[in-house]
Amino acid sequence: GENVEQHPSTLSVQEGDSAVIKCTYSDSASNYFPWYKQELGKGPQLIIDIRSNVGEKKDQRIAVTLNKTAKHFSLHITETQPEDSAVYFCAATAQGGSEKLVFGKGMKLTVNP
């Protein structure tokens, strides 16, 4: 089945720096790749997603890139702010077109003021 690896597991940056989170997946049939932000005591919140027919997508300070050949995708956050501090999860569909997602183990981002 699908396996999603995420790294690094923790990242600490200064306010205003950029942060990059990288994920790899194993199933070449996967076609949907969302990113979630989870704050303490809350459920994961979708922040951006990308489908396999697109190489890059941007939304204000966040962007996601997808390399289908290498089976990896990355989240880029620019001009980080303290409120960006949270755990970030990448995910991929287990099978092409399937509803269920396989998540990475998460990355704890700390943005220091």
Partner 1 sequence: GAGVSQSPRYKVAKRGQDVALRCDPISGHVSLFWYQQALGQGPEFLTYFQNEAQLDKSGLPSDRFFAERPEGSVSTLKIQRTQQEDSAVYLCASSLNRDLYGYTFGSGTRLTVV
Q: Which residue number, 4 or 77, has a Cβ lying nearer to partner 1?
A: 4
Q: How many residues bind partner 1 (CB under 8 A)?
A: 24
Residues 51-90 that bind partner 1 (CB under 8 A): 51, 89
The interface mask with partner 1, positions 83-102, x = CB under 8 A, is ------x-x--x----xxxx
Amino acid residing at 80 = T
Distances (CA, A) of 71 to 9, 24, 44, 62, 100: 19, 6, 23, 20, 18
Q: Which residue number, 33 or 77, has a Cβ lying nearer to partner 1?
A: 33
Could you tell me if 109 and 87 are in contact, meaning their C-beta atoms sit under 8 angstroms apart? yes
- 42 part of the interface to partner 1, by CB under 8 A: yes
3-state SS, residue 31? coil
**What is residue 79's DSSP assignment?**
S
Interface residues toward partner 1, by CB under 8 A: 4, 6, 32, 34, 36, 41-46, 49, 51, 89, 91, 94, 99-106
